[in-house]
Amino acid sequence: MKKKLILVLILLVLLVGVFIYIAPKFSRLWRENSASQNVDLPAAKNYQEFVTSTKEEIKNEVKPDEEQPEEDVVIKAVFDSEIAQTRGEIKNINLNVPFTSQAPSANWEQPYQDACEEASFLMLDYYYQNKKFGSATDTEKLINTLVDWQVANWGAHANLPVQELKKLVGENSTYRVELVYDLTAEKIKNILQTGQPLIVPANGKKLANPNFKNGGPEYHMLVIKGYVDDKFITNDPGTRLGADFIYTSENLLDSIADWDTLSKKADGPKTGIIIRK
């Protein structure tokens, strides 16, 4: 009887210790998330609508370049320091990127548990095509097609560093894919001002998203589709509640990290992916 009582007391002490350790983390996530989600979203713009208005605004500010298509010149201009400063005054942007979870049927078994990369690419593909996702079954087929390609060509479906996602998109579409290094909040906003969403890798354990199971994935990818002041609007495929999910700039930038295949951790550089028509 005395031994049982001692075991019960030890168990209670352990439970209290676990609660003391975990509770502050979940409390912080809840506070950050609650504060960030209370945001009035600007009206969402389709790609062609956004690019047309952007071209009209700045085409007179850039010099023609016969070696580059007009769209390339305009996009390059947004990264020009002088013009970027002016356009930095835009308070908010919201690109009309359609949303899908990486587990469209709420089946979180493989391959969907690790399908955030495929879902992120598909969201950008449908954004440029101005399409909406069909049924959950149809969306699963799209994800499975990309997964099957990886298994057939690379021998496995695994976490994809940004370089590997670039290859996957290049081999399965006609899009031009570019990597953007050393991401900052300003650099992300400048990219969004061209009408282009951005795919970013992240350490899911750092993301302030209380909808994640088990504290979030070790490695994750999501789409940044806009911003309001110091907050970023995302489509986060890691949860069915990921459409228009808001992260603070501080939390998102702290979480962005590429997958390191040697350390098997999301502790690589802050590199993002642009997919262009």
Q: Give the torsion through C-alpha atoms of 119, 74, 187, 225, to 10 deg.
A: -30
Quick check: is 18 in a domain?
no
Residue 14 maps to a domain: no
Q: Given this model, what pLDDT does residue 262 score?
A: 93
Beta-carbon contacts of 205 under 8 Å, excluding residues fewer than 6 positions away, are 215, 216, 217, 218
Do residues 165 and 172 make contact, with C-beta atoms less than 8 angstroms apart? no
What mean pLDDT, rounded, does the chain reach?
84
Question: Above 80 in pLDDT, residue 111?
Answer: yes
Closest to 120 measured CA to CA, from 135, 102, 107, 145: 102
Q: What's 266's domain CATH number? A: 3.90.70.10
Closest to 250 in 3D by CA, of 207, 196, 198: 207
pLDDT of residue 172 exceeding 50: yes
Q: How confident is the model at residue 39 (pLDDT cuts 50, 70, 90)?
A: confident
Determine the structural domain holding residue 221 and report its residue range.
Answer: 47-276
pLDDT number for residue 132: 96
- The pTM of the full predicted model, rounded to 2 decimals, is 0.79
CB atoms within 10 A of CB 46: 15
Tell whether 267 is covered by a domain: yes
Tokens found for residue 164: 């590997």
d(CA 277, CA 274): 10
Give the model confidence (pLDDT) of 45-100 as tens digits.
999 887 776 656 655 555 555 555 555 554 554 444 444 444 445 779 999 999 99
What's the pLDDT score for residue 34?
Answer: 46
Q: Within a domain: residue 38? A: no
Residue 111 lies in a domain: yes
Q: Model confidence over 200-214: pLDDT tens digits?
A: 999 999 999 999 999
DSSP state of 194: T
What pLDDT score does 17 carry?
47
Contact 191, 274 (CB under 8 A): yes
Total domains in the chain come to: 1
In a domain, 39, yes or no: no
92 versus 38: the higher-pLDDT residue is 92
pLDDT of residue 50: 76
Note whether residue 20 is domain-resident: no
Residue 69 lies in a domain: yes
How many other C-beta atoms are found inside a 10 Å radius of the C-beta of residue 36? 21
